[in-house]
Amino acid sequence: MPDPGFGGDADREVLWVSDERLPDLGGLWCRLYGERERTGLYPLLLDTLHGDPERPWHAGELGYTPVEEIDALDAGETLQELLAEHERELWTGLAAPGVEVEGPDACAEMVAEAFAERSRWLLGLVPAARGADALSLAGWGGPCNHTGTAMISAVVRSWEERFGTRVVAVGFDVLELSVGAPPMTLEHARAVAVEHLAFCPDNIWQGVGDIGKYAERLVDCPRWGFWWD
């Protein structure tokens, strides 16, 4: 249940979370992902705040954003708004869709299984039709120092459609997406990198520090990871 102190509704169940981190979670995640249309539940691999295993999921540090707020947002306008004023000269509109390298669902399962092999995760189940919406419906507040989760969901919806992305894992302030149709040329990747700059500037400025070098990493990459300070 959400904690009202974080803007949540204490009477609303926003997600179900396993009590403990689970081993070998990849296969279970893939099965639940494959059944999501029947169950109405979207599975997430969940991580916690380093040093505090209760936050945010078991501590109820969750809000709630209805789908209608996501519906009201345009991805292109949202990204342009999120760019810092001195960065807006980089904006040339939404990047063109990628060319599918691997089916989005198969790519999501591959990424989930790889994550599950590396470490143990909590399992979350969100009453949501798609991963982008699950972020807001679960009350996740990871990008709160940058923007509201509805804006994040609106952009991820667009990436689901243009790049075959799927939400796989969510941490306290971390988001991991699989990418079934990544950019395959550096020129295309540069356009995508501008979207990433708007979406999560910490990726660039607290990471490689150069948007051109960042773009190089996006070419033919099956996973996009984001972290907000």
Please say whether the beta carbons of 183 and 96 come within 8 A. Answer: no
pLDDT digits (tens, 9 = 90+) for 45-101: 999 999 899 999 999 999 999 999 999 999 999 999 999 999 999 999 999 999 999
Q: What's the pTM value of the predicted model, to 2 decimals? A: 0.94
Radius of gyration of the chain (CA): 17
Give every strand in the sheet of 16-17, ordered side by side: 16-17, 122-127, 41-46, 165-170, 174-179, 223-227
117-149: per-residue pLDDT in tens? 999 999 999 999 999 999 999 999 999 999 999
* Size of the chain, expressed as the number of residues it contains: 229
3-state secondary structure of 18: coil
CA distances from 205 to 76, 83, 94, 210, 212 (A): 22, 13, 21, 7, 12
What the block records as the tokens of 78 is 């949202």
Instruction: Give the pairing type, strands 165-170 and 41-46.
Output: parallel
